[in-house]
Chains A and B, each alone.
Chain A
Amino acid sequence: VQLVQSGAEVKKPGATVKISCRISGYTFTDSYIHWVQQAPGKGFEWVGLVDPEDGETFYEEKFQGRVTITADTSTDTAYMELSSLRSEDTAVYYCATDLSRGVDYRFDPWGQGTLVTVSS
């Protein structure tokens, strides 16, 4: 099982970023895909999840309205789009797979992370 994320991004405040997470080694629809934020030198904040089987999503309230998580079953790729970027969004964003599909929300494995830098 492997999750490979897209490369680092540098964006200006107010812009939108879209990160991809391509999975391999298992059936895409057998899992949930989660996105997690890790700001520099900080801990983790859960952003949201997508069920690739039906596209259903759940978002952390803090990101609601600015984040869109999608899953493309034709390419086994999940996406996280974050809009109206501000400096506080500067962080590494990880995708992670949950093969329990919500039984115990275990994130295993994680992608390698994508650094998003928001700077004018």
Chain B
Amino acid sequence: EVVLTQSPATLSVSPGERVTLSCRASQSVSSNLTWYQQKPGQAPRLLIHGASTRATGIPARFSGRGSGTEFTLTISSLQSEDFAIYYCQQYNNWPLTFGGGTKVEIK
């Protein structure tokens, strides 16, 4: 199965900062990668699909890039509501697999 490795595990940042999260795949997944945001006690929320397409209603400060094995999610100016855990997920190969997540916390 495709293993997705997210880094760093935790990111401590201040509001207004720019953050970049990484997701690396153990083999090529083309552009078949999705990003989700999860806040404590809540279900995940779709942010990005197809590696770079923002889902409906997602603010423009969220952007995704990459293809093959290297992907990034960038939040251009972190807002208070963005402190959460971010997960990547690939759908290029069965089974569908998720990364271990990056927690973005307040510095």
Contacts and interface: CB of A to CB of B under 8 A. Distances in A.
A46 B97 contact: yes
Given A43-B100, A43-B101, A113-B43, A108 B55 contact: yes
Interface string A32-48: 00100000000111100
A105 B43 contact: no
A75 B36 CA distance: 29
A106 B33 CA distance: 9
B98 interface: yes
A7 interface: no
Contact of B46 (A60, A61, A109, A111): A109
A113 B43 CA distance: 7
Nearest to B85: A43
**How would you classify the secondary structure of chain A's contact residues: helix, strand, loop or mixed?**
loop
**A: interface residue count bin:** 20 to 34
B73 to A, nearest CB: 15
Contacts of A94: 43-44
A109 B45 CA distance: 7
Contacts of A60: 95
Interface of A: 34, 43-46, 58, 60-61, 94, 96, 104-113
27 contacts: A34-B96, A43-B99, A43-B101, A44-B44, A44-B87, A45-B98, A46-B95, A60-B95, A61-B95, A94-B43, A104-B34, A104-B50, A104-B91, A105-B32, A105-B34, A105-B96, A106-B46, A107-B34, A108-B45, A108-B46, A109-B43, A109-B45, A110-B43, A110-B44, A110-B45, A111-B43, A112-B43
Interface of B: 32, 34, 36, 43-46, 49-50, 55, 87, 89, 91, 94-101
